[in-house]
Structure 1
Amino acid sequence: MRNWATKKLGELFRIKHGYAFKGKYFSDRGAFIVLTPGNFFDAGGFKHKGEKEKYYTGPIPDGYVLGKGSLIVAMTEQAEGLLGSAAFVPADNKYLHNQRLGRVVDLDEGSLDKRFLYYLFNTPIVRDQIRATANGAKVRHTSPARIYDVEVELPALPIQRHIASILSAYDKLMENNTRRIEILEEMARRLYEEWFVQFRFPGHEGAKLESLAVGDIAEVIRGRSYRSKELVTQGGFPFVNLKCVNRDGGFRRDGLKRYDGKFKPDQVVYHGDIVMAVTDMTQDRRIVARAAMVPDLGADGGIISMDLVKILPRPNISKEFLYSLLRWSDFSENVKNHANGANVLHLHPDHIRSHAIQVPPEKPRTEFSELVKPIFDLCESLEKKNANLRAQRDLLLPKLVSGEIDVSSIVAPEEREVA
C-alpha cells in the first residue's frame, strides 16, 4: 500500500469504559438518557430510540456525561452485526456513557482523524478483527485490549480528511431523508391515534365500533421454512426475512436476502403487503409482533421466511388502515407478551388471529386510508433514495479506507443525483 503506515489502534487512542448506572434510577422521562447498544445502527451511526429511550434520575459520577461529537463504540452485541459499531454523540449534556459502550479518548490527532476513525470502525477491515477475538456464546463482548490489537493501514492526515468528507456527504443526505421519514411517520401515527385511539374521527358522534378479532379482518399466512443452501447471492427471489423488520416496526431494505428454493403461492409478497415478525432473536421483544410494509420488490415480488407471517386484509379493509392498526395501536405491546422461548422468542400466529380489536365504520377507515397513502408513498420514495445512497457509500467505504481507489477521483454526492 503506497505511503500508508501500518498501525495498531492501541497506538492511536485509548478506550474508556462506561459506568454501570443503577437500574433503580431508570425512568421513562428525565434530563439524561442512558445510551445502550440499541442506540447504534448495525452499519454505524447514532440511532434515536424515541419513546424507548432509558432516562436516568440518579447521581451521575464525574466524566460520564458525554459531549457532542464524542466517538463511542458498541462493546456488546445483543443482535448480530452490532459489535464494534461506532457513532458520534449528537448533543451536549444529554447522553450518559453506559458500561456496555466504549468512548474513544486520548486520540493522536496528529496521526488519525476522528471522522476517518469512525468510518474505519464501520468497515469489515476493523469489524472482522473485533468479531474474531470477541467472547461469549449468546451475547458477544469485546474489550479495549482486543480493540487495541486491531491492525489498520493509514494514509496521510489530509487524505484521511478528504475520505471522511466524501463519506460524510452521503451520511448527511441519508440523515436528512431519515428525519423527513420520521416526521412523516409521526404525522401518520398522530392521525391514527387521534381518529382511532381517541376515537375523534369525523362523524364519530354516535358511531358504533365493532369488536372483532384480527382474524376476522385479515388472513394470517406463515412464511417459508428454508435451508441455508437455498440462500444465494445472485438469482432467485428477494427473500423477506426477520432482518427486514426494524425494531418497533417498519421495513429494512438492507435486510433482504436472495432465495432459490420451493415456495407456495401464498408465501409470495408484493408491493404494499404487510408482514409481521413471529420470531425475535433478542429478549427485549422489540421485533416480535412488529409489522412492516413491503416496498416495491419488482413484478415477481418476494418470498417470506418462516420467521414472518403475511397479514392479508379481507375485503373492505385497506392495507393502509390495517398496517396503521398493527403499528400504532396497542396490538404489538399486548401480543408480544405471548411470545416464549429460552433463547429465541417465538410467537404462534394464532395469538395474532385471536387478538381482539375495535373496528370503526368503513367511512372513516376509507377517509383515513386516503389521507395516509400519500404519506406512505413519500416515505417509501425517501427510503429508496437512502437505499441508493447507502449502496454507493458502502461500495466506496472499504475501497477508500483501504486505498484501493484514489480519493482524488471521487466527487461527493448531491441531492439531485439521487432523487
Structure 2
Amino acid sequence: MGEGIVTLDELAGDNVLEMGAGRPRSEGAGLPVLRVADVLEGRIQATSQTSESTIPPQTMGPKVSRPGDVVLTTKGTVGRVAIMPSGGPTFAYSPQLCYFRPVEDGPLHSRYLYYWFKSTEFWGQAAALKAQTDMADFMSLRDITSLTMTLPSVTEQRAIAEVLGALDDKIAANDHTAQLCLKLADTRFAAAVRDIPLGDRTFGDLADVFGGGTPKSSMDEYWNGDIPWATPTDVTALSAPYLFDTSRMITEEGMAACSSKRYPAGSILMTSRATIGAFAIAKVSTAVNQGFIVVNAKNSDHQWWLFHEMRARVSDFLSHANGATFLELSRGKFKQFPVRLPDTAALKSFSEGVGPLHDLAAQAMTETEKLTTTRDSLLPLLMSGKVRVRDAEKVVEEAV
C-alpha cells in the first residue's frame, strides 16, 4: 500500500499492521498488567500498584507487549499515547488499552503513527467518538480502526518523526536531568536527617502556613486575568516539582473575592485534599485553591529542609487525615507535626548544597516547557503538510 488516505483497518487487512485491545483476566499465573495510569504522555511508567494478570503468558498470543508497540489509552482518560521501550519488562495489556504494531519496513512507520495519534487529524475524528457513552469516555478498537489517516511516503514519515523526535529526545533528557537532581537532593536529605529524632519545634513554629480559596465560578469578572491560580491538578500533572504556570488564571477582582493570598515564588505547595502529599515549588507568584497547604519558612535557611522533610512525612500526614467524602489534612493539624531539625550550621550547609540542584532541575524543566511548546506548534503543521520538513529542521536546530 502506498501514499494516500487510508484507515488502520485497511492497513491491518494488508497485513502491514497488527493491532488489538487488551484482554480481561482469567485463571492462571501471568504477567504484570499495564493499565491506563501507567501510560503517560510519551512514556510508560508502571507503578508499584501495577497488578498481576492471571492469564498464562503462553496463552496470550499477541496481547503481550513488545518493544516498539504504540499504546493508546481508550477508556476514562482517552488518548494518551506512548511507545513501549526496549529493555523494559513485558506486560499484559489491560482491556482499557489498544496496541498497534506496524510491521518492520512496511508502509507505516511506528513513530509516525505515535505522532498521528497526537495530531489534529486524529482528534478531529476521535473527539466525538469518545463521548458516545453516558459514562466514562471510551473509544473501541473498531472506532479507532475506522478513522482515516493521511499516509505520506515512508521517507516523509521518517523525516517528520525524526524532527519531532529530536524535540522529544531533548525533553526526555531534560526530564532525566531534573529527576537525577531531585534524587541527589533527596539522598543528601536522607543522609542529613539520619539519626535526628523528632524535636519540640513544629511546622507551625518554623513556618507561616496558609491555604487557598476559589472565586465564584459564576462571576466572569473573576476569571481569565493575569494572576496564576493553582489547583491540585496543576501539581499532580508535573513531572518534576516546579510550578511555572497554571491552567486557570484569575483577575484582581477574583483575587480579592477569594481567601487565597498571592504567594511568592519559592513557596512550598502541598496538596491536602483527596490527593494528599503532591508537591511543587512555586516558580511564579501564585494564588491557590482550597486543596493546598502553603508553607514558607520563617528563616529562609529552613525552606529547602522543610520541603524535603514534608516530602518524607507524607505517610504521617495521611495517617492523620480525615473526611467523609474525601481525605483532608487540615492546616491546624499540619502545623502540630513535630519536625526533625539539625543544628544551624548543618541546616545552612544543606540549603547551600541542595539549592543549586533544585535550580538546575528547574532550569531543565523551563527548557522543557519551551521545547514542548515548539513541538506542539510544529506537530499539526508537519502532519498536515503546511510546513516542510526542511523548514521545521531549522526551527528544531535553534531550539535544541
Per the shorter chain, which TM-score range?
0.7 to 0.9
Alpha carbons of structure 1 residues 222 and 12: separation in structure 2 relative to 1, 3 Å: farther
CA distance in 1, matches of 2:307, 2:279: 7
Q: Tell me the matched-pair count.
A: 381
Counterpart of 2:81? Answer: 86
For 1:293, give the aligned amino acid.
I
- Partner of residue 323, structure 1: 307
Match of residue 211 from structure 2: 222
2:298 is matched with which residue? 314
Identity over the aligned pairs, expressed in percent? 20
Return closer, same or farther for 1:412/1:18 CA change in 2, 3 Å cut-off: farther
1:155 maps to 2:157: no
* CA-CA distance at 1:122 after TM superposition: 1.8
Q: Shift in Å at residue 8 of structure 1?
A: 3.1
Which among 388, 394, 413 is matched to residue 376 of structure 2? Answer: 394
CA distance in structure 1 between the partners assigned to 2:232 and 2:208 by the alignment? 20
**1:21-73, Cα deviation, whole Å (9 max, x unpaired):** 589989xxxxx7532222233xx2114357x4636497642334422212111
**Which of structures 1 and 2 has the bigger CA Rg?**
2
Is 1:258 aligned to residue 253 of structure 2?
A: no
Trace 1:8-407 onto structure 2 (pairs within 5 A).
Answer: 8-13=7-12, 15-20=19-24, 33-41=32-40, 44-48=41-45, 52=48, 54=50, 56=52, 60-62=56-58, 63=61, 64-77=63-76, 82-92=77-87, 94-99=89-94, 100-105=96-101, 110-127=106-123, 129-134=125-130, 139-196=136-193, 198-199=194-195, 209-228=198-217, 229=220, 230-232=222-224, 236-246=226-236, 250-251=241-242, 253=244, 255-260=246-251, 261-263=253-255, 267-280=261-274, 285=275, 288-295=276-283, 297=284, 301-315=285-299, 318-327=302-311, 329=312, 331-336=313-318, 338=321, 340=323, 342=325, 346-407=328-389
Relative to structure 1, the CA distance from residue 313 to residue 137 in structure 2 (aligned partners, 3 Å threshold; closer, same or farther) is farther
**1:29 aligns to what?**
none
Displacement, 1:257?
3.3
Distance 1:146 1:188, change over 3 A: same
Question: Cα distance, 1:108 vs. partner?
Answer: 9.5
Residue 186 of structure 1: SS of its match in structure 2? Answer: helix
CA distance in 2, matches of 1:325, 1:226: 32
TM-score of the pair, normalised by structure 2: 0.82
1:132 and 1:270 mapped to 2: Cα distance?
41
Name which of structure 1's ranges 58-67 and 146-155 shifts more when overlaid on structure 2: 58-67
Alpha carbons of structure 1 residues 92 and 9: separation in structure 2 relative to 1, 3 Å: same
Secondary structure of 1:236 counterpart: strand
Could you say if the C-alpha distance between residues 252 and 6 of structure 1 is closer, same or farther in structure 2, counting changes exceeding 3 Å?
farther
Q: Which stretches of structure 1, 4 residues or more, deviate above 6 A after TM superposition?
A: 22-26
**TM superposition shift of 1:168:** 0.2
Distance 1:259 1:145, change over 3 A: same
* Aligned partner letter, 1:210: G
Alignment check: 8 A CA contact 2:68 2:110 kept: no
Output one character per residue of 1:352-383: Cα deviation in whole Å (capped at 9) or x when no partner: 33334433333322221111001001001111
1:308, distance to aligned residue in structure 2 (A): 2.7
Greater share of helix residues, 1 or 2? 2
SS of equivalent residue, structure 1 residue 69: coil
- In 1, Cα distance between the equivalents of 2:53 and 2:22? 17
Partner letter of residue 239 of structure 1?
W
How much has 1:190 moved relative to structure 2? 1.2
Secondary structure of 2:65's partner? coil
1:91–1:333 distance in 2 versus 1, CA, 3 Å: farther
Q: Greater CA deviation, 350-359 or 304-313?
A: 350-359
CA distance in 1, matches of 2:20, 2:162: 26
- Structure 1 residues without counterparts, runs of 5 or longer: 27-31
Instruction: Please list every run of 5 or more consecutive structure 2 residues that lacks an aligned counterpart in the other structure.
Output: 13-17
Q: Using the alignment, how far apart are the partners of 1:403 and 1:277 within structure 2? A: 43
Moved more, 397-406 or 185-194: 397-406
Q: Deviations over 1:270-308 (max 9, x none)?
A: 32111112344xxxx4xx32221012x3xxx23223333
Contact 2:7–2:145 (CA<8 Å) still a contact in 1? yes
* TM-aligned CA distance change 1:311 to 1:138, over 3 Å: farther
Q: Which amino acid aligns with 1:173?
A: K
Residue 100 of structure 2 aligns with an amino acid whose one-letter code is: V
Q: Which amino acid letter does the alignment assign opposite residue 19 of structure 2?
A: I
User: Secondary structure of 1:163's match?
Assistant: helix
